[in-house]
Amino acid sequence: MKTLFKKKILIPVLALTIFFSTTAFQNDFFEIAKQIEIFTTLYKELNMNYVDETNPADLMDTAIKSMLKDLDPYTTFMNEQDVEAARINNTGDYTGIGARVKTLKDKLVIIEPYKDYPADKAGLKAGDEIIKIGNIDLATFKDDKGDLLKGTSGTRVEVTFKRQGKIQTATINRAEVEINAVPYFSMINEETGYIVLSQFNSKASSQTAYAVKDLKAQGAKNIILDLRDNPGGLLHEAVNVVNIFVPKNQLVVTTKSKVEKFNKTYYTQKEALDVEIPVIVLINGRSASASEIVAGTLQDLDRGVILGSRSFGKGLVQRPKQLTYGTQLKLTISRYYTPSGRCIQALDYWHRDEKGDAVRITQDNYHEFKTKNGRPVFDGGGVLPDEALDITKTSAITTAILQKDFIFNYATTYYYKHQTIKDIDNFKLSDSNFSDFKKYLKTNDFSFETETEKALTKALESAKKEGLDDNIQKDYNTLINNLKTSKIEGIDENKAQLTSLLTDEIVKRYVYREGVYDYYKTHNPEIERATEILSNPTTYSGFLTK
């Protein structure tokens, strides 16, 4: 038993030695040593003496995740699979079936097969539910289900899937998959080029620069850069994308940390591709991180007009720290600041409410900064566009519908009811289609709780404790019923946005993602407004000088 104990504490003791060799923890030496000793002895006693068999790895995984949970959601422990997923995200290259897949408890759902890649060639469609891979039933498989689809290029994988209630099988030949940071670019009209930048992997700046050059060669005198739904990625790629439109030696972003070596300033390193061409950047509530660096910097420098809705508001920077056995700690090391000096972090993870949720920084606590031309911009709530479009603002009811996959699932149902569409370029959902969608929501028991309902319920609970509920119960019931009516009406009030989201998802089923971008050029209200602004130089320059 003594030998076993030595093996068990060898790694913690070694960790202690490394831990205390770093400068950042010198001041708390005793407290850290004390807490790690407590944890080590507790961990040993649990493993050796608990009444039932324990899994040391599971216990440690729970301990680590629980410890990190009190910090921000971006500081995470990454096992070997997570590290590989991060590598794929940063490089855009991997070997697999070529599809975006969602992992559920008992299955994998195909969210989007990439055109001409293995899953697509094998006939898999969005909405297909993979229930078995080879002889492995996913309902009972406990490890990462997605790993079963990975393998060497050229190897085969047999999948059993459910489509509209029917069980089918397919053989997929794995291949190398390349995910482009710029999946699409094209001319919208004779003078305006359109570029979709979907993520900031290692190809982001080179592919964006190539697109700008190509479009200019086709006659583009204006550029629309679409960062909607772009979750971010590599910080230095954001700096390089800015550099396409901004001269050399321009400050782009500053990072500030309690650890001095993480305090850095990032400047453009090259000569710009074009410092004069008018640029409009499209953003929405799912544009985050590196997307916000690009949008915020171009706004601060009055180098482009920002259009759409307020961005996500992620002003934190992470860096992977190598641990043992191929694992990593993705650690929030600093906050970033745009050239005007603002940090656009929207949630305060260090001050939480009574439920432990991060507090959103309110408009009352925003601070004003100035752009290069003296225009006011603000921190604390993401990047606020120079012109906000109502259709792009995601309401609470739309968010709830999206989170429960009703848009995705309805599009799947619609596709199999309408196998062919003659003229996809002019596709339009009718009022009867929208009514059918509302029936679909009702049939599938769509419901959600608003913040107002939560507050009222909490108030009633407090009233019950104080013996005052008899006086307010009737009013409470009236308010709740009114809210329920308001939520039902909210679906109609958000008809334009819901119809747009449904249309995008449905069109993608027929012509893939590339076809959706083609469809955007003539049907998307944000692009229509951007084109309108760019067609009038006075209007465009007015945004940058007022």
Give me 223's structure tokens: 């550029």
- Cα distance between residue 342 and residue 284, in whole Å: 19
338 in Cβ contact with 311 (< 8 Å): no
User: Strand locations in 149-278, DSSP E?
Assistant: 156-163, 166-173, 175-178, 184-187, 192-196, 222-226, 251-256, 264-267
User: Around Cβ 318, how many Cβ atoms within 10 Å?
Assistant: 18
Type of residue found at 257: S
In angstroms, rounded to a whole number, what is the distance separating the alpha carbons of residues 501 and 324?
44
Amino acid residing at 306: I
SS3 state at 148: helix
Distance between CA atoms of residues 378 and 341, nearest Å: 10
Looking only at the bridges linking them, the beta strands covering 368-370 and 376-378 are antiparallel
Helices then strands, counting H and E runs in the chain, come out as 16, 23
CB of 281 closer than 8 Å to CB of 298: yes
The alpha carbon of residue 239 and the mean position of all alpha carbons in its chain are separated, in whole angstroms, by: 20
Spatial CA neighbour of 522 closest among 422, 428, 425? 425
Which ranges of 103-217 would DSSP assign to H, the alpha helix? 118-121, 204-217
Rounded-to-integer distance, Cα 374 and Cα 363, Å: 20
Return the SS3 of 382. coil
Is 294 exposed, middle or buried, given 0-12, 13-18 or 19+ CB atoms closer than 10 A? buried
Residue 522: φ, ψ to 5°: -120, -5
* Residue of 198, 289, 311, 500 with catalytic role: 289
Active site residue 300: yes
Contact between residue 382 and residue 346 where contact means Cβ atoms under 8 Å apart: yes
**CA angle (74, 77, 79) in 5-degree steps:** 130
Dist. CA 504–CA 76, nearest whole Å:
33
The question of whether 314 is a catalytic residue gets the answer yes
Between the two ends of the chain, the Cα-to-Cα distance in Å is: 76
What is the three-class DSSP state of 14?
helix
> Which residue among the candidates 72, 120, 128, 300 is catalytic per the annotation?
300
User: How far apart (Å, rounded) are the C-alpha atoms in residues 185 and 178?
Assistant: 17
Backbone torsions φ then ψ of 413, nearest 5 degrees: -60, -45
Q: How far apart are CA 148 and CA 45, in angstroms?
A: 36
Catalytic residue selected from 107, 125, 132, 314: 314
Pairing of strands 108-113, 99-103: antiparallel
Residue with the two structure tokens 């609470």: 396
Active-site residue list: 289, 300, 314
